[in-house]
Chain A
Amino acid sequence: MPNNLSDGERVRLWHGRTFWEEQPHLPLVPELLTLRALATSSRPYITFAGGTEERVLTFGEIDDLSRRLAWWLAREGIASRGATVAFAPRNDLLSVLTIFALLRAGAITLLLNPQDPEGRHDELRAGARAVATLAIIGDATRHRDALVLPDPRSLPATAPPLPLPAADDGAFLIGTSGSTAASKLVLQTHANAAANAAAVVTHHALSAESRLLGCLPIHHVNGLHFTLFAPLAGGAQAILLEQFDPFGYRAALSHYAPHVASVVPSMLEMMLTADRRGALPETLRYFVSAAAPLQASTAKDVLERFRRPICQGYGLTETTNFSCTIPTGLDPAIYRRRMIDVEIPSIGIAMAGNEVEILDSDGRESPPGEIGELCMRGHNVMAGYFGNAEATAKAFRHGWFHTQDLGYAIQDADCGRLFVITGRTKNMAKVAGEAVSFEEVERVLRALPGVADAAVFAETDRFYGQRLIALLVAPDDVSDTTIRNHLKLRVSPAAQPARMVRVDSLPRTPTGKLRRPQLAEFAARLNS
């Protein structure tokens, strides 16, 4: 690899090669739409289920309707190459069409969580310098400034195609809860999306015969890249549930007969409680679980009760979607050895297109078994944090993306090089698969008049994975209801504390830093 490259250039190389060198002919998402429509126009691409009525879009329809909408967005001057447009998608047909239309128009989509309060949307829109905010027809909770999109079927079928975006063009901006109080915006490119989709197609051998069941929200990278783009790249069929319903999930597995089902660990725990029947339909080969750590006990219960293995994956918004995944079709004895008879199940091997390493604090590779920071480089690594060169440089030091997750490697004779995550160096929790920054919640709590001090930590929870506990220095006349209402307007539902505890003061160092490791013990002492 040439030595004169910057960290920002090296972090996007895979074994020393750029995306263009490695994949000169790999189609980007807008081109994939056209290619799929030419090849298999009448085959179903995506089925929308779980809402009031089932809707199906073929590869031909998604191409046609997203082209019409892209043309309208360009004609109205809303979406143009490199302009940022905010959108809070739901798991429905019009939201999916809008995402594809924005990609075709060359705009950068700022993905908003529709559950987030408007204050959070405003913060992200300002940070991303969004020029417009879109909403689909009938969205009752749309942003006050949102432009309502027309029904794509009402637009001219003769809409001319727009020029294709370049691989390095921005595709998505996604807010991420980092270790600091302010949220950072991850800029993902068209090349990132294409590289991730290609890697997923290879890993899971997706083909025209494959069906993938998704229920994760598509404003989240896992729902977006895994459920929408990977099936498109593989010519496979996607089924997108409006949301996860623990009582209805088995029926969806029976009815749609997917081969792969995408979940987060808390959904598996919910199914284990809400569904007391045995083996799942035989058409399902395995679950893919990501976004939060899977417990060995969950893997064991799912295997014993539902008779299915779980392919655990791992990735961050900064690495598009998947950096690692457990190999598919493992021999049962090997599966047990790496996923069940262990303290922490493995996150698997590096996906094609990215290298994964465990680095020490000097950026040197650690030998197998030794704990260090999990780092990666390759075609799925983001362009950077939008408008934040300092944070980008810090994350890309030594030419590797630094996850702030700790772990080690295992050289396994059957699987290859596996990775295990042991902990985090950042002050974050994963609540039902959603990353929540302690500092962000603390900042919001301290901003409420009357709250003198606040600290947040996480407790383990069977269904949520983790839940927040808030410690507050505040007089009784600032009621719990006042505090909850304040939070509801400013942070996502995942960041709402399960419990709030009043304290006289918080454990801090002489320089005023919170003694985080002591918070849980401090709260336990108060209870006793």
Chain B
Amino acid sequence: MVKDTISQLVGEALHIDPGTIVQDTDLFAAGLRSLDLVNLVVALEAAFGFQFPEEALNRETFASPASITDMVIRCRTI
């Protein structure tokens, strides 16, 4: 569930088919720009109903769908 939503939102941010996204896709290599990244932060927070803590807002968190999933699960359980 969480993974599907993340793939969907990442696909929208990158203007690509969510079906082509795998868990370890390098999002920065795939062309994720600063603007897309910030849009993605806002979209993820709206979709999951939480706010990323300050320490989660870095490039490592958004490096791949897998790293985003890890952080979303961690944030939701806090």
Contacts and interface: CB of A to CB of B under 8 A. Distances in A.
Given A247-B59, A463-B39, A496-B15, A270 B34 contact: yes
Interface string A151-163: 0000000000000
B77 interface: no
Interface of B is mostly: helix
Q: Specify which of B15, B35, B41 lies most central, judged by the most chain A CB atoms within 10 Å of its CB.
A: B35
B54 A270 contact: no
Interface of A is mostly: loop
Interface string A243-281: 111111000000000000000001101100111110000
A484 B34 contact: no
Contacts of A244: 34
Contact of A463 (B35, B54, B57, B58): B35
A276 B57 contact: yes
Contacts, number: 37
A246 B54 contact: no
Interface residues of A, number: 21
Given A245-B59, A273-B42, A274-B41, A484 B35 contact: no
B41 A276 contact: no
A243 B34 contact: yes
B10 to A, nearest CB: 16
Nearest to A464: B35
Q: Specify which of A463, A493, A496 lies most central, judged by the most chain B CB atoms within 10 Å of its CB.
A: A463
A273 B59 CA distance: 14
A273 B34 contact: no
A496 B35 CA distance: 13
A273 B38 contact: yes
A247 B35 contact: no
Interface string B30-51: 0001110111011000000001
A13 interface: no
A460 to B, nearest CB: 14
B57 A274 contact: yes
Interface in B20-75: 33-35, 37-39, 41-42, 51, 54, 57-59
Contacts of B51: 276
Given A274-B57, A275-B57, A276-B54, A246 B37 contact: yes
A239 interface: no
B15 A246 contact: no
Contacts of A246: 34, 37-38
B59 A277 contact: no
Q: Specify which of A273, A276, A493 lies most central, judged by the most chain B CB atoms within 10 Å of its CB.
A: A273
Contacts of B42: 273
* Minimum-distance CB pairs A-B, first 7: A270-B38, A247-B58, A273-B38, A463-B35, A276-B54, A246-B34, A274-B57
Interface of A: 243-248, 266-267, 269-270, 273-277, 432, 463-464, 484, 493, 496
Interface of B: 15, 33-35, 37-39, 41-42, 51, 54, 57-59
Given A245-B59, A432-B35, A464-B35, 9 more contacts: A246-B34, A247-B57, A247-B59, A269-B38, A270-B34, A270-B35, A273-B41, A275-B57, A276-B54
9 contacts: A244-B34, A245-B34, A270-B35, A273-B38, A274-B41, A277-B54, A463-B39, A464-B35, A496-B15
